[in-house]
A = this chain, B = another copy of it.
Amino acid sequence: MALIVKKFGGSSVATPEKIMAVAKRVLQEKNPDDKIVVVVSAMGDTTDELVGLAAAITDKTSGREMDMLLATGEQVSIALLAMAFAELGQPAVSMTGFQAGIATNETFNKAKITGITPDKVWQELNAGKIVVIAGFQGLTETGEITTLGRGGSDTTAVAIAAGLKADHCEIYTDVDGIYSSDPRVVATARRMKEITYNEMLEMARLGAGVMHPRSVELGKHYDMPIHVRSTFTCDSGTFIREEYTMEEKEFVIRGVTHDANVAKIAVLGVPDRPGMAYKIFSALAEANIDVDMIVQSVRALDKHIIDVVFTISQGDVPQAGSILEKLNAEMNFSGLTIEEQVAKVSVIGAGMLGNPGIAAATFGALADAGINIEVISTSEISISCLVAADKAKEAVNAIHNRFFPV
């Protein structure tokens, strides 16, 4: 007997036909005594359509009413999927977030799950039913309907799996697992059998789009293995878990990512006095602007002057620009440049720590390809290089080929 939570996203349940296909898919792999929970998102474009209705009425929607509105999307999907199971002869029952015992805090639009009380879920599982649960939603202590925001349905699935102490949680997507790099960029990218929570989080942070970090963090917290796999095939995908099993250890590097949503800011000629860097970065932090790669260098010829280079998301450029202009008026920089024609290329691998050759191999791969590195930053399990935007794909391929020789 296995207890498995399976999550299907909006595109997998976009039409009644696709909903029926999901039901068949689930039954195809179900052993007679398996206990199965299915978490689903809203059908296809439903959420956009609901947002459109609200936009036709007001442009200042309250979080509460928006959640009341959006939560209907998943409620439609769960009812239809439960009907599909019944049509196929499989007893099933749908549950809204509150029926499944998903408690959240009161932060409408991006509520956080505060607890799972899956009594009703257990009751129905023990009665031999498949339980179909609405993703993306919950209920506050005071009985308000909330939605979880980005990555919400994956988060629901992992949270329910943790609450039920399931064997693992399966996330069905339109790709068949986690790849060593984006297959659209690197033709030889390999599907990983396994990857650790930390590596997955680092990959997501550095530009890999398959999994939202939120659900991975929850999986890590509860040590709930997450199986990322294809909606369309029965092949095994990638398991995200705490540690590899033996056979996956051959590759120290687990992924090569790139992120084009980067802008490089150079603040030149800052007097080298205590608190100058603090002044710049605290002003940006106050405006909620995330600063990523930071390099501070003292000038060789004038040791009292420093240059500061860092990166931010391109969306933050206008606001950061005006903050820095204000500081410039006060601190009188010798130069201030903002450049968006850059991209961040990263290698990720938990085994990197005990392997000092990784950084050298990365830089060597880029050098051999004739690609200039503008900024470098490292974490415990990643190395990132800022390169010219038009060299990004070439850089990813060069690094990937070095670590995953064909």
Contacts and interface: CB of A to CB of B under 8 A. Distances in A.
A246 B318 CA distance: 72
A84 B19 CA distance: 33
A290 B143 CA distance: 43
Contacts of A76: 50, 53, 69, 72
B94 A68 contact: yes
Given A71-B75, A87-B58, A120-B143, A65 B82 contact: yes
Given A71-B75, A75-B75, A83 B96 contact: no
A95 B50 CA distance: 17
A94 B80 contact: no
A76 B71 CA distance: 9
A114 B159 CA distance: 35
A17 to B, nearest CB: 8
| Copies of the chain in the assembly | 2
Contacts of A82: 62, 65, 68
A266 interface: no
A65 B53 contact: no
Given A53-B16, A99-B143, A58 B84 contact: yes
A98 B145 CA distance: 11
Contact of A80 (B17, B54, B71): B54
Interface in A23-77: 50, 53-54, 56-58, 60-62, 64-66, 68-69, 71-72, 75-76
Q: Name the residue in A57, A58, A82, A98 with the highest tally of chain B Cβ atoms < 10 Å from its Cβ.
A: A57
A147 to B, nearest CB: 12
A373 interface: no
A64 B98 CA distance: 16
Interface in A133-166: 143-145
Interface in A103-145: 120, 143-145
A400 to B, nearest CB: 44
A78 interface: yes
Given A75-B68, A76-B69, A76-B72, A57 B16 contact: yes
B86 A62 contact: yes
A62 B83 contact: yes
A93 interface: yes
Contact of A53 (B57, B69, B80): B80
Nearest to A62: B86
Nearest to A49: B76
B54 A83 contact: yes
A80 B69 contact: yes
Given A16-B56, A57-B80, A69-B75, 4 more contacts: A53-B80, A61-B83, A65-B82, A99-B144
21 contacts: A16-B56, A17-B56, A53-B76, A54-B79, A57-B83, A58-B83, A58-B86, A58-B87, A60-B87, A61-B86, A62-B83, A65-B93, A66-B79, A68-B75, A68-B79, A69-B75, A69-B76, A69-B79, A69-B80, A71-B75, A75-B75
